[in-house]
Amino acid sequence: MKYTIKNWPEEERPREKLFKSGEHTLSNSELIAILLRNGTKGQSAIELARSIIFKFKTLRAMSHINLSRWKEIKGLGPAKIAQVRAALEIGRRFREEEVKEKRPKITSSEDVVKILMPRMRDLRKEIFKVLLLNSQNRIIDIIEAEEGTVNQANPIIREVFQKALQHFAASIICIHNHPSGNPQPSRNDKEFTQKLIQAGQALEIECLDHIIIGQSNYFSFLDEGLM
C-alpha cells in the first residue's frame, strides 16, 4: 500500500491548500507533489517532491536535466517523470502563447530575447524559430522550423519563407540557440545569415535580424552591424 498524505490535516494537504488559498501560496515542493499525485512505500508525495527539489535545486534546472538524472531518484518511475516534465514544458510555452495573442510590436533585439530566451536558453539541442512580422513590426506568429539547425540551411530557408508567404509577413526575425551556452556565431551561422538576407531580398520579405541565444546572453547580427 502506497504511503499518502490523506491522513494529514486537510488545510496542510497541497491540493486542498491550492483550492482554499490559491496556487500561488504553495511551495515548489507542494506544486510538484500535486503533479506526482502519490508517493511510494514509506514516502509521501511531498517527501518525494522534496527529494526532487533537493537534487535539482531550482525549477529552471529541472527543466533541462537529462532524463538519466531523473531516473536516479528512488520512487520516480516513467509516469511521474513524464508528468513533471510535461508540466515544466507547459510553463515554458505559456509565455510564447501569450505573446502570440497580444501581438506586440518588436522594436529591438531585446524585445525578441525577452520572449524567447526563457524557453530556448536551456535546451539541449539546437532549434530554430522565426518571428513573422507585419508591416508595423507586430508579431503575426512564431514558428519553429522542422529541420532544426543552421547546418541544414537550404531546407530551413525554404520552410521559413514558405511560412512567411503563407502568413503575408512583411519581415522576419530568425532565432536559434547554442546548447553550448556560447552565443558567438560560427562560420555556418554567418553564411546562413547571408543566405537568409539574399532569399528575403528576392522575395521582398526583409530579414531584420538573426539572434543567437546563449545561456544568459545573446548575439544579434543587427546590433553588431552584420545585417
Q: pLDDT band for position 5 (50/70/90)?
A: low
Domain end (from 94, 114, 144): 94
Domain end (from 94, 126, 161): 94
Average model confidence (pLDDT) across the chain: 85
Grid coordinates standing for 101?
Answer: 495573442
Domain membership flag for residue 113: yes
Q: What integer pLDDT is reported at residue 45 of this predicted model?
A: 84
Mean pLDDT of 70-99: 81
Torsion region of 58: left, alpha or beta (phi above 0 gives left; psi -120 to 50 gives alpha): beta
- Whether residues 81 and 147 share a domain: the answer is no
- Whether residues 118 and 142 share a domain: the answer is yes
Q: How many CA atoms lie within 13 A of 58 on its CB side?
A: 4
Q: pLDDT band for position 103 (50/70/90)?
A: confident
- The pLDDT tens digits of the residues spanning 17-42 come to 888 888 888 888 888 888 888 777 77
- Whether residues 76 and 149 share a domain: the answer is no
- Whether residues 135 and 175 share a domain: the answer is yes
Pairing of strands 139-144, 171-177: unpaired
Domain membership flag for residue 24: yes
> Is the separation of the CB atoms in 172 and 130 below 8 Å?
yes
Q: pLDDT band for position 4 (50/70/90)?
A: low
- Whether residues 186 and 205 share a domain: the answer is yes
28-36 — which CB contacts under 8 Å span 24+ positions?
Answer: 28/53, 28/59, 29/53, 32/84, 33/5, 35/80, 35/83, 35/84, 35/87, 36/80, 36/83, 36/84
Q: pLDDT band for position 12 (50/70/90)?
A: low
pLDDT at 6 > cutoff 70: no
- Whether residues 174 and 192 share a domain: the answer is yes
Domain end (from 71, 94, 117): 94
**How many residues does the structure list for the chain?**
227
Domain membership flag for residue 85: yes
Q: What integer pLDDT is reported at residue 206 of this predicted model?
A: 95
pLDDT cut 90: percent of the chain above it: 35
- The pLDDT tens digits of the residues spanning 123-156 come to 878 889 999 999 999 999 998 886 566 666 567 8
Domain membership flag for residue 227: no
Q: How many domains does the chain have?
A: 2
Domain that holds residue 122: 104-220
- Whether residues 122 and 80 share a domain: the answer is no
For the chain, how are helix, strand and coil distributed in percent, rounded to 5?
A: 50, 15, 35
Q: What integer pLDDT is reported at residue 2 of this predicted model?
A: 46
Give me the residues paired with residue 138 across strands: 105
- The pLDDT tens digits of the residues spanning 156-198 come to 888 899 999 999 999 999 999 998 899 999 999 999 999 999 9
pTM metric for this prediction: 0.67
Domain membership flag for residue 157: yes
- Whether residues 112 and 157 share a domain: the answer is yes
Pairing of strands 206-213, 218-220: antiparallel
> Is the separation of the CB atoms in 29 and 46 below 8 Å?
yes
Domain membership flag for residue 1: no
pLDDT at 60 > cutoff 80: no
Q: What is the CATH number of the domain that holds 189?
A: 3.40.140.10
Write a three-state SS string for 4-51.
CCCCCCHHHCHHHHHHHHCHHHCCHHHHHHHHHCCCECCECHHHHHHH
